[in-house]
């Protein structure tokens, strides 16, 4: 999964197709292994001049390493600066949605609004991705009926089963969620949190289920089975080619 994640992040369109690799040079994960394609993974074309090895004998200190990195980056920046903006249809959008600091109002205010926007984008042919296994586990019974076919429904259940087994291995249960911040915001339990979380997905049919870091093969509403940690979920969605992120914000309320 780490290799797939790093590999697919470099294919995210926000990088403009200009990739440089920086490493010590002695890692187990060598650039060749990272850049090579497979039957279902696109190869990454990177010139040897764009691979910076920090242990290269030409480097005589930290400043030498920094200068080498900057020189390579400058070459890529010159190419990127030659690009021109183009108007694209909404169907080319890939939007990732994620919760952040959920409270008692998330499921009745912000998330339904995001869900409504999600449905509008899907109708335009765009791809919308919602995630976070821990956030939807206790509302999975409301998601499986929305699967576009039996295969997608089974994939949803498989990801939830993996999560249940993971918790059993650690001898814990789902009641450890919600977090203290969620409870302070008025969420009583994980079921309330899950019901609010899935509101982001709107009412569209779920057309595909992705494991962490996988790239979508279909357009429409997609469930990406990522962890709920903000930075991990965001990283996995970027690896799944999502160039646009919608992190539902926290509403700060003033009390008298």
User: Is 255 a domain residue?
Assistant: no
Examine the domain organization and report whether 130 and 37 are in the same domain: no
**CB-CB neighbours of 155 under 10 Å:** 19
The pLDDT value recorded for residue 51 is 85
* Residue closest to 248 by CA, chosen among 107, 122, 121: 107
Range of the domain at 22: 17-80
User: Is 34 a domain residue?
Assistant: yes
54 DSSP assignment = T
Examine the domain organization and report whether 115 and 199 are in the same domain: yes
User: Is 168 a domain residue?
Assistant: yes
What average pLDDT does range 6-16 have in this prediction? 80
User: Is 157 a domain residue?
Assistant: yes
Examine the domain organization and report whether 121 and 238 are in the same domain: yes
Examine the domain organization and report whether 67 and 147 are in the same domain: no
Three-state SS at 245: strand
The pLDDT value recorded for residue 40 is 59
Confidence of residue 249 (pLDDT cuts 50, 70, 90): very low
What average pLDDT does range 153-182 have in this prediction? 89
Of 102-106, 111-115, 241-245, 246-250, which one has max mean pLDDT?
A: 111-115
The pLDDT value recorded for residue 254 is 36
What average pLDDT does range 196-203 have in this prediction? 93
Q: Which of 29, 53, 80 is the last residue of a domain?
A: 80
Lowest mean pLDDT among 80-94, 119-133, 242-256: 242-256
Number of domains into which the chain is organized: 2
Examine the domain organization and report whether 179 and 53 are in the same domain: no
Q: Which of 44, 62, 80 is the last residue of a domain?
A: 80
Q: Which of 80, 104, 120 is the last residue of a domain?
A: 80
Examine the domain organization and report whether 75 and 160 are in the same domain: no
What average pLDDT does range 183-199 have in this prediction? 91
Rounded to an integer, what distance in angstroms lies between the CA atom of residue 253 and that of residue 93?
A: 33
DSSP H helices, the chain, are: 2-9, 31-35, 62-80, 110-123, 133-136, 140-143, 150-169, 180-184, 190-197, 230-239
User: Is 10 a domain residue?
Assistant: no
What average pLDDT does range 26-39 have in this prediction? 77
Tokens 């009745």 locate to 108
Examine the domain organization and report whether 204 and 121 are in the same domain: yes
Q: What is the mean pLDDT of the chain?
A: 85
Three-state SS at 207: strand
Examine the domain organization and report whether 60 and 23 are in the same domain: yes
Confidence of residue 255 (pLDDT cuts 50, 70, 90): very low
Examine the domain organization and report whether 48 and 144 are in the same domain: no
User: Is residue 163 within 8 Å of residue 107, measured between CB atoms?
Assistant: no
Rounded to an integer, what distance in angstroms lies between the CA atom of residue 212 and that of residue 237?
A: 8
Examine the domain organization and report whether 60 and 39 are in the same domain: yes
Tens digit of each residue's pLDDT (9 = 90 or more) over 38-89: 655 677 777 777 888 888 888 888 999 999 999 999 999 998 899 888 898 9
User: Is 214 a domain residue?
Assistant: yes
Confidence of residue 256 (pLDDT cuts 50, 70, 90): very low
Examine the domain organization and report whether 94 and 76 are in the same domain: no
Contacts of 147 (CB under 8 A, 6+ apart): 153, 156, 205, 206
What average pLDDT does range 107-130 have in this prediction? 93
The pLDDT value recorded for residue 200 is 92
User: Is 117 a domain residue?
Assistant: yes
Rounded to an integer, what distance in angstroms lies between the CA atom of residue 147 and that of residue 198?
A: 14
User: Is 30 a domain residue?
Assistant: yes
Examine the domain organization and report whether 116 and 152 are in the same domain: yes
What average pLDDT does range 188-213 have in this prediction? 92
User: Is residue 219 within 8 Å of residue 207, measured between CB atoms?
Assistant: yes
90 DSSP assignment = G
């Amino acid at each position: 999964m780490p290799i797939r994640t790093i590999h697919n992040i470099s294919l995210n369109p926000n990088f403009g197709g200009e990739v440089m690799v920086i490493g010590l040079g002695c890692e187990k994960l060598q650039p060749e292994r990272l850049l090579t394609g497979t039957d279902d993974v696109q190869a990454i074309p990177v010139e040897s001049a764009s691979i910076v090895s920090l242990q290269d004998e030409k480097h005589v200190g930290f400043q030498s390493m920094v200068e080498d990195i900057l020189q390579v980056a400058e070459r890529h920046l010159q190419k990127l600066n030659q690009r021109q903006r183009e108007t694209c249809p909404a169907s080319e959008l890939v939007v990732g949605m994620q919760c952040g600091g959920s409270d008692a109002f998330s499921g009745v205010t912000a998330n339904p609004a995001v869900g409504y926007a999600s449905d509008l984008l899907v109708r335009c042919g765009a791809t919308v991705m919602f995630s976070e296994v821990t956030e939807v586990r206790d509302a999975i019974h409301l998601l499986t009926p929305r699967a576009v076919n039996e295969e997608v429904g089974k994939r949803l259940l498989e990801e939830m089963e993996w999560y249940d087994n993971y918790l059993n291995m650690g001898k814990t249960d789902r009641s450890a969620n919600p977090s203290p911040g969620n409870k302070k915001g008025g969420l009583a339990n994980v079921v309330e949190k899950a019901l609010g979380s899935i509101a982001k997905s709107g009412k569209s049919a779920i057309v595909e289920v992705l494991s962490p870091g996988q790239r979508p093969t279909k357009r429409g509403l997609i469930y990406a089975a990522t962890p709920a940690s903000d930075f991990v979920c965001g990283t996995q969605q970027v690896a799944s080619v999502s160039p646009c992120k919608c992190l539902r914000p926290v509403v700060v309320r003033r009390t008298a």
